[in-house]
Structure formats: C-alpha cells, structure tokens
A and B are shown apart, each in its own frame.
Chain A
Amino acid sequence: MTRFLLRRLGGALFVLLALSVVVYAAFYVAPGNVAQIACGPRCSPAQVAQVSDQLRLGDPLYVQYAHFLQGIFAGRDYSTGTGILHCQAPCLGRSYQDDQQVTQMILTKLPATASLAIGAFVLWILLGVGTGLLSVWRRGRATERILTGLTLAGMATPVFVVGLLLIIVFCSALQLLPFPDYVPLTENPEQWAWNLLLPWVSLALVSAAPYARMTRSSMLETLAEDHVRTFRAYGVSERGLVGRHALRGALGPVIALGALDIGSMFGGAVLTESLFNIPGVGRELVDAVKNVDLPVVVGLVLVTGFFVVLANAVADILQAMADRRVVLS
C-alpha cells in the first residue's frame, strides 16, 4: 500500500511538472513580446525595455523557467526598479494588473470556490446515484421513464437557466430566501449555508444527470451478470440484488467520474459564480483572461491541474479499496 501511494505521488508530481512546462511555454514563450503585454498597450518602448529588464526576459528560456520553478518551490525576488520585493514560496508570480502576489490572490478566492464545489458535489452525488438507483429499482415502470426523461432534461439544461429560475421563484416570487450574496463560513456559518443553498442546488441539479445515467447503466449491466443470477437463484430479493450487489458494481465508475468533476470544480465554476455573485476562482480567471494577466492565468491553470491530479490520486486509492481485484502495485 505504501509503495502504491509513493508511486502514485511520484506520478502526480511528474504530471504537474509536465503541465507547468506546457503552460509556461504556452503563455510565456509563445506570445513573443511578454514585456509589452505586462506593461500594457500604452507603454513607450523605453518602459517596455525597463519591464523586460525587471522580468529578466533577456535570460535564456530555460533560466527563466528555472526561476519560475524556483519561485514555486523556494520563493524568489522581484525587482520593481526602485527596490526588491520578495515573493514567498509557493510563488506563482505577480499580477501585471496590480502587482499583487498571485498565490495570495488565489488563496483569498479559493474558500468561496471550495464552499460551492464541495457542497454541490455532495448534493449531486446523492441526487445522481439516488436517481439512478431508483430508476433501476423501478425499472420497466412509469417511474423509470419519468426519471430517464428528467435526467435527459438535466443534461440539456444550462446551469444559468436553472439558477435563474430558482432565483426568480425562491427569492423574488416566494421571498423564501435572500438574494444570494456570499458570506464566508468563518464569519457566519448559518448565513454561509443559506446563501449557498441556491448555487448548490442549481449546480447539483445540472451535474447530477450524468451520474444518474451512469449509475443506471452500470447497475443494469451488473444485474445481467452471472453472479447476480447466482443470488437470484438463492432466493435473494430484488431489493437485495439491486441494493447490495448491483449498486456495488456502480461504485467504481462513480468514483472515477466524481474525481474528475470535483477536481475541475476547484478551477472555478464560472457561470455559477457569476450568477450568484460568489467571489471565487472562476470569476478571477475570467478577469485575468480579459486583461491578459498572464501570471494569474498560469497560476490558476496550475492550481486547477493540482486539484485534478490530487482528486484522481484519491480516486485511485478509493477504487482499490472498493474493488480488491485492483492490484496496488
């Protein structure tokens, strides 16, 4: 088990390193005139030259990349022309817009995104697996057809439509809930939950659909397998077959898909965050892209990559625990 964990960790690190090379090349090397971008369109050639000097763009590419990595692992210093600013590890650079440290910017936005992601994730797993389970359990009846129809509708509906409808119904018409405005968990847990309820529900309603489909199809597949026939021939009830034997078979795919989704959710749910006014990573990313703020974009891509890789590593371990045939080696 320890060996498996170490190997998995090594693999994850390698993926992140490869990602950093690709991202670095795509954003800092390919565009060509980084100094012009950093300085802004109205800079004079002299100012651009000064920025280029500050960012040490004259160094060979591999030296620049090494500095970039050094920043992440050990921190690095930036010259501002008048003095030297230290950027602590993990340093993802400084924003071109306002000279803020990217790491700090992301860290301040992450709690909001994490609140949204984790809450919605729990809801949509319950909703998706539950719907799948119910439609298998009532297969061949009206319930199954209704659920299948709803699932298809869920897959076809964009999150902002669901969210907007929920806001109109619960905040405007019924006035049951306040218009969502993010309140940090540390400030007021109750308000935090109330304000996040609608974003959670709208994200869950939309994201649950693929899980419902997948749970249903892999359970139906398992139900057709020989070992289910064995237990049917031994008098186990349909409830036992579906709930104990078939559901277990659906666990693997749900874990695998869940890991991908939760990982990329940490990169921000742009639409949901914008609609519900949540100051999260997703909105940060939109702003950064709009302003061609390269360090912020690169930082966010790397952080998202980190969470996806992390979630997948966790999923691998869960898979191995759920199915002992998966050899941990």
Chain B
Amino acid sequence: MSLVEVSGLTISFDGAAGARAVDGLSFTLEAGAALGVVGESGSGKSASAYALLGLHRGTGATVGGSIRVAGVDVQAATDAELRALRGSRAAMVFQDPLSSLDPYYAVGDQIAEVYRVHTRASRRAARARAVEVLDRVGIPDAARRSRSRPHEFSGGMRQRTLIAMALACEPQLLIADEPTTALDVTVQAQILDLLHHLRHETGMGLLLVTHDVGVAAESVDDVLVMQSGREVESGPVADVLSAPRRPYTRELLSAVPRVDAKRATPAAAPGVKGPVPVPAPRDAGGGEPLLEAVGLRREFGRGSGRVIAVDGVSLTVHRGETLGIVGESGSGKTTLGRMLVRLLDPTGGSLHYGGAEIGSLSDKALRPYRRELQMVFQDPVASLNPRRSIGESVADPLRAAGVLDDTRIRSRVQELLERVGLDPNRYDRYPHEFSGGQRQRVGIARALAAGPELIVCDEPVSALDVTTQAQVTALLAELQRELGLGLVFIAHDLAVVRQVSDRVAVMRQGRIVEQGSVDEVYGAPQDPYTKQLLAAVPALDPALATVRRAARKELAAA
C-alpha cells in the first residue's frame, strides 16, 4: 500500500455546488518517495496538501473523493484519529516561518508540546527530544537556543525549527507547503539541502508544494503540475521539465527566468498594445549620467540602537538604461531605492540628478523634481488605496503636477491604462476587482503618469506568479526602451534581475560588493558573496541541481 493515495479529490470553499478549487485530483506517493506539486497561486495545490491532514474539517469547505495517508482514511476518520495522524505519521511544514510559530512560547517548549501530544513522554523527556531534533536540523547550541522565542531567530532558523517540529515524532510523510518562499535564496538553498539530507537519512516520504519549478527540480523525484484545480501533467521530474507534453507546462517553464540565460528580448509582451517600440539610443557608460549617487549613506536610530542601512553606496543610472540591484533581505536595497527618489533623506553622501544636487534639498525645493522621479512598489495590494478607483490613483501624480482639468486628466489616465495593457474603460473600478498582475500594471501606469525621467521599481514582481512576472517585466522593458527612461530595478531574484538589467549591482549589508555589466557579474563573478548567491539559485535541471548541491557544500566548507 502506498503512503499517500488520493483519488478523485474535490474541494470547494462555497458549498458543494460552488466553484471547485480542486477538481478530480488523483495521485499516489510511495513510502520514501518525493512528489512535487507545482502550480501558480489559485491552482489548488495548497488546498490539496491541507486535505491530506483533514485540515479543511470544520472550515466550511467541502471535500470529496478519497484520501488515504499512512493507512488512515482521512475522510472517514474521527477527529481523534485525525489528531493522532497529524504530526505523528504525517507532519507539515508551512510557508511563512515568521508567523507559523507561537510568539509567546520558547521554541523548545513548542516542539515538546507537539511531542507530548503523540507520546506519553514526560515533560523532561519531551524537552530533551526537542533539543535533539533542533540539533539535528542544524541549530547551533541547541540546548541553549531551545529556550529562545521565535522572534529571536532568523527566518532560516525558524524554518529549521518548524522542520525540527516535524521530525519530532519521526513521521513517514513530510508535507512541505512552499517551505522556502519566504526565505532568501542562500537560506532557501540551505533548507532544501537540509530536506534532501533528512529524507535520505530517515527514509520519509516528501510532498513538496511549490510555485517555483526550480525548487521542485532540486528536491523531488516526481512532479505534478496543477492548473485551476486539475492535474495538467505528471511524471518523473527530469522528463516533465526537459520534455513537457502540455502547452501549459511549456508556458510555465518558458516564463521561469533563467539565471544562466542571456537577456531575453522583450519583443513578446502579451497583453500589451501600443505603437511599435523604437529602440532608444543606448549610451551605457558614456554620456552624462541621469542620476549619480556618491557615497550615499543612511542610518536609523541613535546610540547603541543605531543601524547603518546603507553604507557609502556610489552608483550611476543613465538614460535608457536599467540598473539592477540585487541583494538579500536586510541588505539595504529598499532603503537605497527610496533614497534615490528622495522618499527617504540620505544621512550622508550626495545625489546628483540632471546636474543638480538633490540629496540635501528641502521638501519644497524638491517639488519640481518629484514629477521626474517615480517609484513602483513591491506590494500591488498595499500600494493602492482600496477606497479609491484605480483611475483616481493613477491621476494622483497628474493632479500633484498641477493638471486640474478633469476631462484632460481622464483622457490621459485612460491612455496610460491602455498603454500598460489594461482596459481604459475600467477607470472607475476599484483595486480588489483586479488581479495581482493587473494591479501592478496600475502601479506602473501611476508611475508613468507625470512623465518621469527615472523610475525606481522596488521588487515589482516578487508578489506575482511566474507567468505574470514575465509579462510585467516585459512591459517594463518595453516602456523603458520606448520612453528612454532610466530604470532602477531592485529585486532579490537574481534571474529576474538578469532578464531586465543592463548593469547590475550586488548589495550586502548596506554596501555594494560588486558592480558591472550583467554578463560580467553573472558570467564571471569576482566577489565570493556573488558566487555564493549564484550557487544558491535552484537549477531547473535535476542533474545540474545535484552538481550545484555539491558545489554549495564545497563553498560552505571553504
């Protein structure tokens, strides 16, 4: 008997008659094997994973079909039987390690609590077990750190803690729901390596749910591609990724940005209408820079609590050129981006724009420049006012620039909406009526509204699905060529940055460790940190992934 047998699984969230989030999904997972479930957001992959532990029970969702996990019929099991399954024979690791642990209790106590639910162990024995598993997932000084509370841990350590919790009762099945999505790329590589290692050591089965094809390629034997609640294609991971049979799988794979591929020509930008782009003359390196930062600094706090977020950064942005800035969380890239458009005041260094020093200008003196320096934000949900129509949001910069004629504003906004690939008649619609990708297009239209010279995009696609990501980056690239903008593209994703940038700067701890043309930095990285970052990027080819894993081991040992 297989470890997991699912057949004809259906899940709907609004009653049995409602739309099905999962519709007739069947798969099996043998003991000790690893299956990756890959799909975009809303494809039903997480809902399916939750169903394996009966987590939809009592939520109002309707679950149909048959589910057997480690010999338990999940659909027919009593609440007590389900609780006995959860965490003991099948354990789950969640997406967001920051919120998945109770902030009020020590991590060791949380693991001990779970252990005591399933065994008759004493408090002391459970606590010892907690230290043991924490040690096993690589928490240094586990006995002492087990008394820490989650907020004292980094994201990677918290995810290790959750994995330790999963290991506590030696389950036969580990379900990992986007276990590395919230983590930096180097930490992601560590966690995936840890899962790989544990799986071989304990022989437990792994069900990995992810939107990232690269993560799946690194970690599983078989892969199942989902779309709109149904299976699109499944099979051995090497076969599916190298020779996809279905158009959707091919589309998904082609949308994945490759860190080892040269810059894509942004000719095909689906959904974008407009005049044929005229390539602007490129004068990368030569000519007068549009924006120049010299020794830019920013500190937060005072005294012993002082943090240097950006520590002496110098860079230039030219007209018609994209500068990519990559770095992990906390590297200071967002702070830098905000200073470049003067949303934040630098505490040191200088910032020249079009020949003028704007780093120390007062708010009032800055006003004429505001129109020319615009920003696109990371979170397309939070950066639009939910109570105002998208047309009004896009019109804001126009009004701020002094355009007061309503008919003129309306026609200009509609023109912009059309330019970014949205229906201009949706001027009066509200943000919640748009998808994530569409909202980011609204954000781009807003940045374009006042006719800027320079746009800083701060993680503009990190909240989007991979196919949407490809469309939005293509749109940005096209707009830039057409309008001759200077673009600063900030992202944690090395592959995305490679796709859009002419030059790239790698940031770490507030400094730029390496800067140069994209081909130089990605092709022949000089700084050890850049090398480490590049080695951590998941490869789409499982064979290559094995090689990379070995390389990471060497880098870590060195």
- Residues in B92-109 with C-beta less than 8 Å from chain A: 92, 94, 96, 99-105
| Contact in complex: B117, A235 (CB < 8 Å) | yes
Is A98's CB within 8 Å of the partner chain B?
Answer: no
| Contact in complex: A323, B104 (CB < 8 Å) | yes
| Contact in complex: B114, A236 (CB < 8 Å) | yes
| Contact in complex: A235, B151 (CB < 8 Å) | no
Stretch at the interface among B82-90, B339-347, B390-398, B529-537: B82-90
Q: B26-57 CB contact bits vs A (8 Å, 1 = yes)? A: 00000000000000000000000000010100
16 A-B interface contacts by CB (under 8 A): A229-B94, A230-B92, A230-B102, A233-B53, A233-B87, A234-B165, A235-B82, A235-B88, A237-B83, A240-B113, A245-B104, A248-B102, A322-B104, A323-B103, A324-B151, A329-B305
Q: Of all chain A residues, which has the CB nearest B151?
A: A325
Q: How far is the CA of A232 from the CA of B117 in the complex (A)?
A: 11
- Which of A227, A230, A235, A322 makes the CB contact (< 8 A) with B85? A235
* CB neighbours of A233 from chain B (8 A): 53, 55, 86-87, 91-92, 94
* CB neighbours of A244 from chain B (8 A): 113
B: interface residue count bin: 20 to 34
* CB neighbours of A235 from chain B (8 A): 82-88, 114, 117-118
Is A225's CB within 8 Å of the partner chain B?
Answer: yes
Task: Give the 8 A-B CB pairs with smallest separation, nearest first.
Answer: A234-B87, A235-B86, A226-B99, A235-B83, A235-B87, A234-B114, A227-B102, A248-B104
- Which of B84, B88, B101 makes the CB contact (< 8 A) with A230? B101
Q: How far is the CA of A240 from the CA of B165 in the complex (A)?
A: 17
Q: Taking A234-B114, A236-B114, A324-B151 as contacts, is the C-beta distance between A225 and B104 under 8 angstroms?
A: no
Rounded to whole Å, the gap between the CB of B50 and the closest CB of chain A is 8
Residue among B92, B102, B117, B149 with max Cβ neighbours from chain A (10 Å): B102
* CB neighbours of A237 from chain B (8 A): 83, 117
Q: How far is the CA of A234 from the CA of B88 in the complex (A)?
A: 7
Q: Of all chain B residues, which has the CB nearest A322?
A: B104
Q: How far is the CA of A231 from the CA of B113 in the complex (A)?
A: 9
Using CB atoms and an 8 Å cutoff, list the residues of chain A in contact with chain B. Answer: 225-237, 240, 244-245, 248-249, 322-325, 329
Rounded to whole Å, the gap between the CB of A208 and the closest CB of chain B is 24
Is B191's CB within 8 Å of the partner chain A?
Answer: no
Is B500's CB within 8 Å of the partner chain A?
Answer: no
* CB neighbours of A329 from chain B (8 A): 305
Q: Taking A233-B92, A235-B84, A325-B151 as contacts, is the C-beta distance between A227 and B100 under 8 angstroms?
A: yes
- Which of B83, B99, B105 makes the CB contact (< 8 A) with A225? B99
* A232-B55, A235-B86 given; 9 more Cβ-contact pairs under 8 Å: A227-B101, A227-B103, A230-B92, A231-B110, A233-B86, A234-B91, A245-B104, A324-B151, A325-B149
| Contact in complex: A236, B100 (CB < 8 Å) | no
Q: How far is the CA of A228 from the CA of B113 in the complex (A)?
A: 13
Q: How far is the CA of A225 from the CA of B150 in the complex (A)?
A: 15
Q: How far is the CA of A227 from the CA of B117 in the complex (A)?
A: 17
| Contact in complex: A226, B151 (CB < 8 Å) | no
* CB neighbours of A323 from chain B (8 A): 103-104
Rounded to whole Å, the gap between the CB of A246 and the closest CB of chain B is 10
Residue among A228, A232, A233, A329 with max Cβ neighbours from chain B (10 Å): A233
Rounded to whole Å, the gap between the CB of B355 and the closest CB of chain A is 45
Q: How far is the CA of A231 from the CA of B53 in the complex (A)?
A: 12
Rounded to whole Å, the gap between the CB of A224 and the closest CB of chain B is 11
Rounded to whole Å, the gap between the CB of A236 and the closest CB of chain B is 6
Rounded to whole Å, the gap between the CB of A285 and the closest CB of chain B is 40
Q: Of all chain A residues, which has the CB nearest B83?
A: A235
